[in-house]
A and B are shown apart, each in its own frame.
Chain A
Amino acid sequence: MSRKLCYAPMLAVCLGALACAPPMVLQRRIEGTKTAEAKHVIVLKSSDNPLLEQPLWSFVEQVPHQIDIFTLTSGTTGSAVAKALGASGADLVFTLGLGAATLVADHEKDIPVLFAMVPNAERHGLTARSNVMGVGLESPSVSDFMQFKMVAPKMKDVLVIYSEASSGPAVRQSKKDLVPWGVELLLAPAEDQAGVVGAYNDHRNQVDAVWLQNDPVVMNPRAFGFLRESTIKDRLVFVTSLSERFAEAGALASVSLDFSAVGSQAANMANMVLEGRKTAAEIGVQPPVGGLVTLNQETARKIGISVPEEVLPFLNRVIADTEQPSR
């Protein structure tokens, strides 16, 4: 990174005139370009969770302004943060994680607020504020399936087992969205493990694939284990969203979020606002772009599919088949 970093580790800094209990701990200051158009961006992390680092540094590398990076301290109130932000003269606040996003969005009405790494932004009231924009954490099903189809292009009829309470509206939307892409979702509600087993057994002969999406009824070790073993036995494609760990554990393929791309997407949104090209309201909340595709070649062999060699360069990770290497 060519930009100058000023370290202030563990230095508690009150941005406002707060005498004690500083609301945010300054971790780093990154100097921006010294031009008349130079702006000041504050980054506020909800915690020191390492997951936040990738989007953070991707963002920092692409926003050419002074950036002060803070982490929330425990017990911080929203009013204290708002006061501190007001005194800082910041042109934009970039929050990472749910805690920082809701705290700032609830109390800051003037400065543009950009969030990332927040699950269910709509549920947390982040989608209906004129000064708030962000990158959602929920990857669109169309995007996931475009990636799945690289490894299983013939996949057409796909079983989705889900909890109505947790995912009903989302899977119905996915069903609608995927029709133009040649994918027919077969929706099978279930509320517990017995329901998962029943739904699978009822529908396994009607589908050529099973999709594990972010739902507590199926995204747990028992249900995953059952679906992994059953799909291998029945030679069905088993694809999963959210985490590469599912492919590591035996699903054919997984698509997980590309956190670096999320940071880049956020940086583009920030630059548009800082350059006066668009407002936060015009940008709104966007789904994330980009996904990390992981293929498990051992599972591919077990279910009898062969992923074309020319596709391999386009995948992010290929878990080799250790039992039967290709030599």
Chain B
Amino acid sequence: MLAAGSPRPALAKGDLLFFDPDANHQALLRINADFNRFLKSQQIDLAFRPLTSLKTFTQLIGNNNARFAIVSPDYLRSSGGHGLKPLLVPAADGEAFYQKVLVTVGDQSSDQSGKTIAATIAVENSAAATASLSKTLRQAGVKVDGTRYLRMSKDVDALLAMAFRRADAAIVTPGSIEILEKINPTLAKSFRVIAKTNKKLRPPLCVFSARTGSAETKKVVAAFKKMADHPDGRKAMSTLWFNGWIPYKPWMLAAHGERGTP
């Protein structure tokens, strides 16, 4: 588990920090090496450092080594940016936003008060992650007074927990339902989507502009735009559910992370 952050390669001059409470932390463990191999292949002298603790992230951004960060839009909004300037946004088939769906197999009421929802929630900062999830569900019109969360390590487990009646509902990515549909179409057919969360911006790649030169910034942006062309880069992107980077536009963050169309 990434308790405080993974060690940085000793020779790298700067850090590329990653902090997104919504990310699958098991996945982060897996992409650490891929990301660093990709950076090395592009002659970018940065160490990729995925972090699961807001406290550690906050400490590290004060360090001169921090040159770039891939960081949750919520953090960018709440912190006023901390000198971070968004450059690129991850996108899946061109879409910079993502959403989750709340599914059930039985009662299709959007009132989940007092019920149990299976969800992928990180072990660290789970209280904050749970509060954030409740807020997201309320925004989607779901009642969650006294709702309990069954914490799973991946979305497929959340679906199975619901299918085996250990939870009343599951909040998952639509892609996980598609995977389960291939394994067991009958089971997947019994799922009913009862709510969709608002669309949320994927975590942008930002630069600490006060301490990073424009030449280095341009080099990193150019490399990230071609990340899908490199096997390690493509693998890391795929694990984090996107397949490209698109230019950041101010409206993306200004819409408080949730949007219809620009």
Given contacts A268-B116, A309-B238, A325-B231, 20 further A-B contacts (CB under 8 A): A61-B126, A62-B151, A140-B164, A150-B179, A181-B184, A260-B123, A261-B153, A265-B166, A268-B150, A277-B114, A289-B166, A289-B167, A290-B157, A290-B161, A313-B239, A313-B240, A314-B154, A314-B156, A317-B30, A327-B230
Tell yes or no: A310 within 8 A of B by CB.
yes
Q: What number of A residues sit within 8 Å (CB to CB) of B?
A: 42
- What are some 5 contacts across the A-B interface (CB < 8 A)? A289-B118, A289-B157, A292-B26, A314-B155, A316-B153
Tell yes or no: B106 within 8 A of A by CB.
no
Q: Which of B114, B153, B175, B183 is within 8 Å of A150, CB to CB?
A: B183
Q: Which one of B118, B149, B153 has the highest number of Cβ atoms from chain A below 10 Å of its Cβ?
A: B153
Q: Which residue of A lies closest to B29 (CB)?
A: A317
Which 4 pairs between the two chains have the least Cβ-Cβ distance?
A264-B151, A290-B157, A289-B161, A327-B231
Question: Would B161 and A260 count as touching, CB distance under 8 A?
Answer: no
Question: A261: which B residues are within 8 A, CB to CB?
Answer: 150-153, 157
Q: Which residue of B lies closest to A325 (CB)?
A: B231
Query: Cα distance A147–B123 when bound, in Å?
Result: 22
Query: Cα distance A222–B41 when bound, in Å?
Result: 42
Question: Would A143 and B164 count as touching, CB distance under 8 A?
Answer: yes
Binding site for A on B (CB under 8 A): 24, 26-27, 29-30, 114, 116, 118, 123, 126-127, 148-157, 160-161, 164, 166-167, 175-176, 179-180, 182-184, 230-232, 235, 238-241
Which residues in window 158-189 of A have CB below 8 A to B? 181-182
Tell me how far the C-beta of B233 lies from the nearest C-beta in chain A, rounded to whole angstroms.
11
- The digit string for A246-278, where 1 denotes a CB below 8 A from any CB of B, is 000000000000101100110010010000010
Tell me how far the C-beta of A149 lies from the nearest C-beta in chain B, rounded to whole angstroms.
4
Question: Would B156 and A317 count as touching, CB distance under 8 A?
Answer: no
Q: Which residue of B lies closest to A290 (CB)?
A: B157
Which residues in window 193-225 of A have CB below 8 A to B? none
Q: Which of A150, A181, A260, A318 is within 8 Å of B30, CB to CB?
A: A318
Tell yes or no: A57 within 8 A of B by CB.
yes
Tell yes or no: A326 within 8 A of B by CB.
yes
Binding site for B on A (CB under 8 A): 1-2, 57-58, 61-62, 140, 143, 146-147, 149-150, 153, 181-182, 258, 260-261, 264-265, 268, 271, 277, 286-287, 289-292, 309-318, 325-327
Q: Which residue of B lies closest to A327 (CB)?
A: B231
Query: Cα distance A264–B176 when bound, in Å?
Result: 21
Question: B175: which A residues are within 8 A, CB to CB?
Answer: 310, 313
Query: Cα distance A316–B157 when bound, in Å?
Result: 11
Tell me how far the C-beta of A321 lies from the nearest C-beta in chain B, rounded to whole angstroms.
12
Query: Cα distance A310–B182 when bound, in Å?
Result: 12
Question: B29: which A residues are within 8 A, CB to CB?
Answer: 317
Q: Which residue of A lies closest to B121 (CB)?
A: A264
